[in-house]
């Protein structure tokens, strides 16, 4: 039995960062790096992990993604998956403590993102919600908007973005709120999930999805301070 409600962002980061002596500033192959990290994560949390390769991943970088499978959850099986992608031409893999800390941060965000999805599905007896009905002309943009505009994703990314911006502004909630109204169209200094949403919806702060997401982010600020998306353990405590 595992109580997902006990997970808190900083503690997840701290636990995974325990691996730093085995990983940081060590000459490892991608396979060795992934095996050490994957085995450790699966010992700490009841999740599955995958290893993939993609030329879009920059050299000596790691892309971390995740998935929640409601059908597995409904049948009491491991339902959260953490996906790791590497550049296929990378042979050796040497990573600094700073970069590894950033990877740990992303892993923590990913786990909590999928736990939010877990709670969403359990609360409504594993029923799915429709994606956002995008009217964008481009198929690529329409698909991205359909996914990001889904109510479930707005909720999960709302927490992630609140955490991201709270970290960026070192806990300054007023600065976080001001950031949500900035025009970041030509700004290269900051990326992250908020910039991803703005780009997907044409940097239109009056778009219904952007306005809904802003409200969700602000509502999640107190939870981001605590590092836990929920006050109670309802639906996420086995």
131 pLDDT higher than 80: yes
* Confidence at residue 237, expressed as pLDDT on a 0 to 100 scale: 77
pLDDT of residue 238: 62
Q: Are residues 33 and 85 in the same domain?
A: yes
Q: Has residue 221 been placed in a domain?
A: yes
- Residue 136 and residue 32 in contact, taking contact as beta carbons nearer than 8 Å: no
User: What span, in angstroms and rounded, lies between the C-alpha atoms of 75 and 121?
Assistant: 13
| pLDDT confidence bin for 81, thresholds 50/70/90 | very high
**Residue 129 lies inside a defined structural domain of this protein:** no
Q: Is 179 exposed, middle or buried (0-12, 13-18, 19+ CB in 10 A)?
A: middle
My answer on whether 144 and 194 are in the same domain is yes
Cα–Cα dist 69/199, whole Å: 27
- Domain boundary residue among 71, 91, 123? 123
Indicate the DSSP class of residue 4: G
Q: Specify the pTM.
A: 0.95
In this structure, are 20 and 79 located in the same domain?
A: yes
Any domain includes 192: yes
Q: Verify that 104 and 153 share a domain, yes or no.
A: no
What does the pLDDT read at residue 92?
84
Q: Are residues 55 and 103 in the same domain?
A: yes
In a domain, 232, yes or no: no
Instruction: Give mean pLDDT, residues 54-81.
Output: 95
Same domain, 16 and 103: yes
The predicted model gives 187-193 an average pLDDT of 78
pLDDT range class, residue 54, cuts 50, 70, 90: very high
Q: Are residues 159 and 106 in the same domain?
A: no
User: Are 16 and 77 members of one domain?
Assistant: yes
Q: What is the residue range of 69's domain?
A: 9-123
pLDDT at 232: 85
Q: What is the mean pLDDT of the chain?
A: 94
What distance in Å separates the CA atoms of residue 184 and residue 199, rounded to the nearest whole number?
Answer: 9
Alpha helices in the chain (DSSP H): 9-17, 20-23, 30-44, 70-74, 97-123, 139-148, 151-168, 173-179, 192-200, 208-226
Rounded Cα distance between 206 and 175, Å, is: 20
What is the rounded distance in angstroms from the CA atom of residue 212 to the CA atom of residue 63?
27
Weakest mean pLDDT among 96-105, 189-198, 210-219: 189-198
Whether residues 167 and 118 share a domain: the answer is no
In terms of average pLDDT, the best of 87-91, 109-113, 127-131, 180-184 is 109-113
pLDDT digits (tens, 9 = 90+) for 11-23: 999 999 999 999 9
Q: Do both 71 and 154 map to the same domain?
A: no
> Does the structure show a pLDDT above 80 at 191?
no
Average pLDDT over residues 82-89: 96
Count of the separate structural domains present in the chain: 2
Residue 235 lies in a domain: no
59 belongs to a structural domain: yes
Residues 45 and 113 in one domain: yes
Q: Are residues 31 and 112 in the same domain?
A: yes
Q: Which of 75, 95, 123 is the last residue of a domain?
A: 123
In a domain, 233, yes or no: no
């Amino acid at each position: 039995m595992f109580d997902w409600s006990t997970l808190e962002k900083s503690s997840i980061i701290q636990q995974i960062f325990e691996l730093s002596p085995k990983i940081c500033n060590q000459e490892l192959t991608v396979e060795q790096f992934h095996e050490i990290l994957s085995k450790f994560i699966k010992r700490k949390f009841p999740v599955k992990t995958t290893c993939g390769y993609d030329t879009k991943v920059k050299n000596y970088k790691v892309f971390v993604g995740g998935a929640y499978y409601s059908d597995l959850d409904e049948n009491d099986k491991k339902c959260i998956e953490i996906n790791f992608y590497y550049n296929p031409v990378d042979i050796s893999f040497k990573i600094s403590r700073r970069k590894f800390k950033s990877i740990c941060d992303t892993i923590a965000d990913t786990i909590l993102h999928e736990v939010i999805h877990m709670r969403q599905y359990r609360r409504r007896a594993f029923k799915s919600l429709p994606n956002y009905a995008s009217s964008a002309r481009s198929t690529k943009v329409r698909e991205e908007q359909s996914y990001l505009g889904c109510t479930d994703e707005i909720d999960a990314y709302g927490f992630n973005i609140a955490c991201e911006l709270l970290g960026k502004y070192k806990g300054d909630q007023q600065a976080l709120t001001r950031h949500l109204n900035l025009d970041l169209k030509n700004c290269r200094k900051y990326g992250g999930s908020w910039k991803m949403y703005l780009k997907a919806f044409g940097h239109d702060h009056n778009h219904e999805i952007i306005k809904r997401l802003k409200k969700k982010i602000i509502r999640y600020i107190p939870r981001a301070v605590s590092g836990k998306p929920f006050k109670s353990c309802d639906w996420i405590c086995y």
